[in-house]
């Protein structure tokens, strides 16, 4: 039978489960991007898995498949409480029981009443279960700050997590007065932005950006190939867009929401977990004005332009009291540029 994990081993294994869940982000929507690690009875990693696209196996089942018979008498460490319902797939709680798992740790209790209850089912069957409020809060933080945060945000607020993305000079300019903007940031920053696009559900721009820049808004590798997951491209605004615009190619789905209200976009994306707002300044400003921005990813170039449009244009701002304040995340160096994340 599996033995209780030490705090250090639990932290390391839960972190490994969070790392595994990165592979599910974007691909699993609207299901939660979950990661799971199976340890055999001796405490050795026997299997790692993550949630598959809708209709496919969940993280626990994928990890159990890898572990095989080594799972019997072992331990499962999962980022989210194992589900207890039958949908397109069976309940993960039962899969763990069938595999003979003796101990389960999970990072966050499932807030969805339709799927919750897996922990109780496992306990009733004699499995030792630890998770949610029973864990050290720092372990819960590891999970809630990982890929699962977008799904948890949707469950708790009823809308997707909204990230605003800006690439600017240190004086806040996103383009020159003549409209040229390629490139303010360097290749590593742009590659990072494309990697993020490959994990989100939708990318939002205004009609002005589409007309001025004719962006493709796809997620690509550094070699220019399309990534496996492409976000839905969303155009916000009433202006007509020519059918020859790149945004209407077949590389990714595209919708136009004929409104200037950011809430209308979020209502149109009823399954999305994470959306990215890329511009232009008035569209970003509208999301700030309606208090719908959860975080900002600012790619900051070590450059001064001195003139040109700013990254944000908020109609409601008239005095210093109108500041929208955020807190800094950990900055990240990307070549010559700096990625600064701001969170509510």
Known binding positions for Zn(2+)? 58, 83, 92
Between the two ends of the chain, the Cα-to-Cα distance in Å is 44
- Residue 30, preceding bond cis, omega within 30 degrees? yes
**Could you tell me which residues are annotated as the binding site for NADP(+)?**
209, 213, 238, 280-286
**Could you tell me which residues are annotated as the binding site for substrate?**
167, 181, 183, 197, 217, 220, 278
Q: State the Cα angle at 174 between 329 and 337, rounded to 5°.
A: 45
60 included as an active-site residue:
yes
Using CA atoms, how far residue 36 sits from 17, 57, 93, 163, 280, in Å, is 5, 12, 13, 27, 39
Biggest alpha carbon–alpha carbon distance for the chain:
69
23, 60, 144, 330: the catalytic one is: 60
For the chain, strand residue ranges (E) read 35-39, 45-50, 75-80, 103-108, 128-131, 161-169, 202-206, 232-236, 254-257, 274-279, 295-301, 327-328, 332-334, 337-343
Under a CB-based contact definition with an 8 Å cutoff, are residues 202 and 231 in contact?
yes
Secondary structure letter of residue 231 according to DSSP: P
**Could you tell me which residues are annotated as the binding site?**
58, 83, 92, 167, 181, 183, 197, 209, 213, 217, 220, 238, 278, 280-286
Q: Which of 269, 275, 276, 239 is nearest to 255 (CA)?
A: 269
| Residues catalogued as catalytic | 60
């Amino acid at each position: 039978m599996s033995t209780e994990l030490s705090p250090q081993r639990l932290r390391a294994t839960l972190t490994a489960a969070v790392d595994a869940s990165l592979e599910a982000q974007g691909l699993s929507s609207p299901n939660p991007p979950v990661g799971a690690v199976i340890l055999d009875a001796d405490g050795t990693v026997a299997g790692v898995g993550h949630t598959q696209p809708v209709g496919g196996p969940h993280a626990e089942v994928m990890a159990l498949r890898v572990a095989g018979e080594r799972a019997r008498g072992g331990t499962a460490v999962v980022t989210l409480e194992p589900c207890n319902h039958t949908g397109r797939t069976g309940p993960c709680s039962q899969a763990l029981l069938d595999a003979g798992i003796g101990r389960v740790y999970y990072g966050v209790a499932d807030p969805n009443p339709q799927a919750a209850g897996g922990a109780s089912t496992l306990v009733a069957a004699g499995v030792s279960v630890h998770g949610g409020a029973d864990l050290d809060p720092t372990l819960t933080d590891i999970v809630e700050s990982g890929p699962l945060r977008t799904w948890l945000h949707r469950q708790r607020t009823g809308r997707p997590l909204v990230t605003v993305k800006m690439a600017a000079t240190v004086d806040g300019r996103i383009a020159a007065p003549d409209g040229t903007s390629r490139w303010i940031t360097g290749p590593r920053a742009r590659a990072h932005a494309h990697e993020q696009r490959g994990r989100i559900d939708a990318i939002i721009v205004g009609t002005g950006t589409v007309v001025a820049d004719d962006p493709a808004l796809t997620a690509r590798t550094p070699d220019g190939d399309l990534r496996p997951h492409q976000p839905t491209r969303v155009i916000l605004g009433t202006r007509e867009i020519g059918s020859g615009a790149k945004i209407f190619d077949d590389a990714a789905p595209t919708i136009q929401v004929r409104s200037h209200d950011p809430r209308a976009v979020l209502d149109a994306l009823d399954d999305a977990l994470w959306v990215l707002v890329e511009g232009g300044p008035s569209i970003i400003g509208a999301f700030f004005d309606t208090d719908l921005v959860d975080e900002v990813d600012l790619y900051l170039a070590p450059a001064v332009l001195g003139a040109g449009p700013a990254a944000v244009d908020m109609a409601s701002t008239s005095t210093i009291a109108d500041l929208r304040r955020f807190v800094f995340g950990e900055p990240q160096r990307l070549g010559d540029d700096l990625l600064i994340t701001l969170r509510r």
